[in-house]
Amino acid sequence: MDGPPGNDCCAICHGHFNIACQANCSHWFCGDCIMLVWHHGSVLQPCKCPLCRRQITLLVPGEASLRERNDPNVAEVLGKIERYNHLFGGNTSSLVQPDPHQKATAKTRTEL
Ligand SMILES: [Zn+2]
Ligand SMILES: [Zn+2]
């Protein structure tokens, strides 16, 4: 799926998705809404999904969001999301190369 369900709305602002992003728990949020939730708590820790309380370790922008990335506001939010994924994801395709700093990630993977 490349975007949120058409009849759905953001659970944070209860409005239309703006820069829709899908969390690893499969819920969709506006990119800036979920970044606000994250900044509401500690930025050193991943935030929890406001709907299912699962820890969000990956946010995937929908295709429509990526098409709008020449808009500076969209690019800024997408940049924050990329940083979030870098901090807490550790399993995006760009991070597959072996890295000694990834040992912690390997440990959490075996727990899954
Ligand atoms: Zn929203
Ligand atoms: Zn969720």
User: Who surrounds ion ligand 1 at CB < 5 A?
Assistant: 10, 12-13, 30, 33
C-alpha–C-alpha distance, residues 12 and 29, integer Å: 7
Look up the pTM and report it: 0.77
Separation of CA 70 and ligand 1 centre (Å): 20
What pLDDT, on a 0 to 100 scale, did the predictor assign at position 96? 44
7 within domain boundaries: no
In a domain, 39, yes or no: yes
Residue 8 located in a structural domain: no
Whether the predicted pLDDT of 94 surpasses 70: no
45-57 pLDDT, tens digit per residue, is 999 999 999 999 9
Residue 63 lies in a domain: yes
Query: In this structure, is residue 64 part of a structural domain?
Result: yes
Average pLDDT over residues 51-66: 95
Domain span at residue 70 reads: 20-111
Please give the share of the chain, as a percent, with pLDDT higher than 70. 79
* Predicted local confidence at residue 7, as pLDDT: 84
**Whole-number Å distance between alpha carbons of 74 and 88:** 21
CA nearest to 78, candidates 20, 6, 4, 13:
20
CATH code at position 90: 3.30.40
The domain total for the chain is: 1
Judge whether 90 lies within some domain.
yes
